[in-house]
Amino acid sequence: MKNVISKRVLPILLAGMLLLSGCGSRPNGGKADVVVVTPTPEVSANPAASAQIVPETTATTAPTNTPAPTSTATQQQAPAAATTPAPTPAPTPAPTPAPTPKPTPAPTQAPSNKPVVTKNPTDEKVIVGGSCWFVAKYENAVWAEWHFVSPDGSRDLSYADAEKEFSTMEIVKGYASTMQLKNIPEALNGWKVYCRFSNNNGAVTTTKAAITVTNSTDGSPRVTKSPTGETVDAGGSCFFVARHEDAIWAEWHFVSPDGSRDINYADAAKEFAGVEIINGNTGTLQLKNISVSLNGWKVYCKFSNNIGSVKTSSAQITVSGQKDPGTAVVTVSDQDASYSALYNGSYVESVAKKGTMTISGGPDIFNVSVRWPNSASEYSTWTFSGSFDGRAVMHYSNCTMKTVTVDEKGNETSLMDYNNGTGYLQMTDSGLTWADDGRSASGAASFVKS
């Protein structure tokens, strides 16, 4: 193995030595000769034949750069320098985010809460000199004012100005949601009325309702029963009963024995001090503690509606100066006493179960209270009193109606729509039927005992 290596390496070493020796003196003009060494598989014994020196001038091939052999010692790598560890950076604290400002809510605009019309008045037809009602409903109103509009629409009068325009006509509650007109003149024919509801946030108006004034008596009330004469001892009591159809109002009158005087029940109470007159504005009149001074007087009832009026025949009162021991005074007090238990109690409207009614009192006079919700924040009340006649009917003309509004805090505001309202309450096989003329557009309502 050593011989082989020497044979191959020796020529290369000789060539390198010759090159080094030529570096000192360069005879050919300072140019070095090019030594071409051709290694052979085996080195000849004659060293002269192993290498041939060729002058540089004759060389045409560029020298080949053959890398010098690397000794075993140079192949050993120097020990690697120790690696200095990079310094560990100090932890950077996470930045604290700036607090996000809370958005300022846009100012909330307060709701307008303007009034809202929930019921418009309806047209009315009335006879000259008659009366009628106009009813409107609302929500959220504080003030009400009725207006009158001329037939051609050119004039719009408040109720106060209308009182001046039609001086003979009486306007009742022109500042409430229910207005009554009395003693209506023919000049009002063709006019229209509407109601203006307002509060601090604005105003609204109802639609217009037309007034037709006529001289016709068609539709006037009819008498179906006239009262009969009564004989009573001084200090005693008696009843007078009359019946009608299509009447709205009732009023009893007293006529003197000679017929020269005709006074209504209110004036009779002043005329006959000490005599108690009960329900002079219903179909059943009761007199208590009757004095001898009433002997020979007559009574009759006047029934009326928006179209006209009608009178019953007269019934005479006969008063004896002392009681007859053999004659008993017959009254219906016992019958009314039995009615107390029959009528008194609580009732609920039979269809929607919304309205409620309470009846108390008796046996002569019963007190009635009705409550009817209009919305979650409003309800209406009716209070009236009267007695039931032989047909179990109460006719009244002393009703007070109010509309009550409730705010968000539960505070209630009451507005009176009308007083002296008329209507009737009647016992039926299934309960009670109630009809108030101020709410005529709603019709009669049925109640059952709860």
CA nearest 115: which of 20, 216, 204, 182? 204
- Look at residue 172 and give its three-state secondary structure: strand
Q: What is the CATH number of domain 116-214?
A: 2.60.40.10
CATH topology of domain 222-331: Immunoglobulin-like (2.60.40)
CA nearest 433: which of 335, 340, 351, 334? 351
Return d(Cα 211, Cα 173) in angstroms, integer: 17
Q: What is the mean pLDDT of the chain?
A: 78
CA nearest 6: which of 43, 34, 35? 43
CA nearest 349: which of 440, 420, 430? 430
For the chain, what are the domain ranges?
Answer: 2-61, 116-214, 222-331, 334-449
Cα first-last separation, the chain: 134
**CB-CB contact of 275 with 269 (8 Å):** yes
pLDDT at 108: 53
pLDDT at 61: 46
Helix (H) or strand (E) holding 11: helix 2-21
The residue ranges of the chain whose pLDDT is under 50 are 23-25, 27-35, 37, 40, 42-64, 70-76, 109-110, 322-339
Backbone angles phi, psi at 270, to 5 degrees: -80, -35
pLDDT at 121: 93
Alpha-carbon radius of gyration of the chain? 62
pLDDT at 224: 87
Take residue 360 and report the two structure tokens written for it.
């108390």
The alpha carbon torsion through 441, 443, 449, 450 (nearest 10 deg) reads -40
Task: Say if 116-214 and 222-331 have the same CATH topology.
Answer: yes
Tens digits of residue pLDDT in 88-105:
666 666 667 667 766 666
Return d(Cα 407, Cα 111) in angstroms, integer: 14
pLDDT at 296: 94
DSSP 10: H
Return d(Cα 117, Cα 207) in angstroms, integer: 9
Pairing of strands 309-311, 445-449: unpaired
